[in-house]
Amino acid sequence: MTAATLDVGWTGRHAVVTMPEEIDLANAPAVRNALLALADQAPELITADLTGTTFCDSAGVHALTRAHQGAVARGGELRLAVGDSPVARILELTGLDQIIPVFRGVRQSLDTPREAAGSPP
What is the CATH classification number for the domain harbouring 52? 3.30.750.24
Q: How many domains is the chain partitioned into structurally?
A: 1
* Domain residue limits at 94: 3-113
Percent of the chain having pLDDT more than 70? Answer: 92
The 10s digit of each residue's pLDDT in 52-72 is: 999 999 999 999 999 999 999
DSSP codes, 48-117:
EE-TT--EE-HHHHHHHHHHHHHHHHTT-EEEEE-TT-THHHHHHHHTGGGTS-EESSHHHHHHS-GGGT
43 CB-contact burial (10 Å; exposed 0-12 / middle 13-18 / buried 19+)? buried
119 within some domain: no
Q: Are 56 and 23 in contact (CB under 8 A)?
A: yes
Is residue 121 a part of any domain in this protein? no
Please check whether residue 33 lies inside any domain of the structure: yes
